Amino acid sequence: MGERGNRLYRGMDKWLGIPLTALSASLRLGRGKIPHTPRRIGLLCLGAIGDLLLFSGLPLALRQRWPEVRLELLVTRGNAAAVPLVPAIDDVAAFALRDIPGMIAHLRQKRYDVLFDSSQWARLGTHICNFSGAGCTVGFTTHGQYRSLGYDVKVRHSNERHEAANFLALGQALWPELQGGPAVRLPASPPQDALPFVRERAVFLHMWPSGVKSWLRQWPAEHWASLARHLLDRGCTVFLTGSPADAAGNTAFLQRWFPGTAGIQSLAGCLGLPSLAWLLAQAHAVVSVNTGIMHLAALAGAPTIGLHGPTNPLRWGPVGRQTASLLPREGKMAYLNLGFEYPPDACDLQYLPVQDVLDTLADWGRI
């Protein structure tokens, strides 16, 4: 979730965002002309790393349709680390989420022919678009969020299709022939910092979700420990991935369950996302909770198992050449749409058994 998971930001976006969006929409009258041949297209992505990776399908489709167009991306510092992985982009600007004046000033200077906003529920994106000076703005109308005032072209945000398809639909609203899906741009040559971790049967485990109520998207530590033991017994090397903030958690896990054990180690904070993406592309398999690393692994081509509880695989499942989405066998599940619809009796992934993961890996011939 990154910066957008901040409750203060969410509260301000709701109580100030709706009236400000209505006001800014009233100032945007008289625009909305769709260019016959766009010269410069802006792409606004204020979401998390996973959002940006799934959003990559839109610039790819636009590049195929308009080979000469200039595609420019505006992101936040929360997802900027993933920018080198997004193909087809000509220029990038990154801002702190709270730097609304800076974003607006940048967009007004650019004066895009078309500006696409990928924000699903936040009103901030609409507000920025309304002041952008772009010739045509395109964004989501999302049920119950009152966020689409001012967009020149409104696209229904649907919880009945994958989020990658929602993002592509933004472009299809202008050019219905657009086709394609998300992808990542891997380093052209092996990154030197990743080479020490190359193993023939390397399995990567990502235990740490992010955002509000992240504990509800965690698999119990004893499940991870059981899975890791099975993998080690079958001759696999196990790497625990994570951000620098996850390093302490990985260390505590290893000290509790695998003190002095060879063949398992933490990579949290050791590699940048491009190097990690290259390493994941070499993986024997990846098992991850639903988060940006899951999407990165799948798009990099790794056999990827996504562990889902609150998240709906239909909306947020991994996209790649070999993927599986597993859900608990009981309890509430697959109820999240925008990311904050938690019922009072929600539970974690304790009812997703280790055996389901092992069976999937066995079916793939990975163990």
Interatomic CA distance for residues 185 and 85, integer angstroms:
5
| Helix spans in the chain (H) | 7-15, 17-26, 49-55, 57-65, 100-110, 124-130, 163-172, 221-233, 247-257, 273-281, 292-300, 313-316, 354-363
**How many distinct structural domains can be found in the chain?**
2
Q: Rounded to 5 degrees, what are φ and ψ at 190? A: -60, 125
Residues 56 and 21 in one domain: yes
pTM of the shown model:
0.93
Classify the C-alpha dihedral 87-92-94-99 as positive or negative. negative
**What domain range is 29 assigned to?**
2-172
Torsion 155-163-352-362 (CA) sign: positive
Mean pLDDT, range 74-81, rounded to an integer: 95
- Decide if 134 is inside a domain: yes
Within this chain, do residues 344 and 199 fall inside the same structural domain, yes or no? yes
Question: What digits encode the pLDDT tens for the residues 6-25?
Answer: 555 555 566 566 677 777 77
Q: Please identify which residue in the block is written with the tokens 């394609």.
A: 180
Amino acid at 248: A
Residue 186 lies in a domain: no
Is residue 142 located within the same domain as residue 249?
no
Q: Can you tell me the mean pLDDT for 334-355?
A: 84
Pairing of strands 91-95, 114-117: unpaired
101 in the same domain as 48: yes
Q: H-helix or E-strand containing 41?
A: strand 40-45
Tens digit of each residue's pLDDT (9 = 90 or more) over 284-334: 999 999 999 999 999 999 999 999 999 999 999 999 999 999 999 998 888
* Mean per-residue pLDDT of the chain: 91
Structure tokens at 132: 């952008």
Encoded tokens for 353: 């058994």
**3-state secondary structure (DSSP) of residue 73:** strand
Domain membership of residue 48 (yes or no) is: yes
155 shares its domain with 73: yes
Residue 248 covered by a domain: yes
Residues 212 and 353 in one domain: yes
Query: Please, which pLDDT band fits residue 145 given cuts at 50, 70 and 90?
Result: confident
Render pLDDT for 243-285 as a digit per residue (tens, 0 to 9). 999 999 999 999 999 999 999 999 999 999 999 999 999 999 9
Q: Do 151 and 33 share a domain, yes or no? A: yes
Residue where the block lists tokens 């562990």: 307
CATH of the domain at 350: 3.40.50.2000
Dmax over CA atoms of the chain, in Å, equals 68
Average confidence (pLDDT) over 115-133: 92
Q: Specify the pLDDT at position 1.
A: 40
130 close to 21: Cβ distance less than 8 angstroms: yes
268 secondary structure, DSSP code: T
pLDDT at 344: 80
- Domain boundary (111, 137, 172) is at 172
Same domain, 67 and 209: no
Same domain, 69 and 137: yes
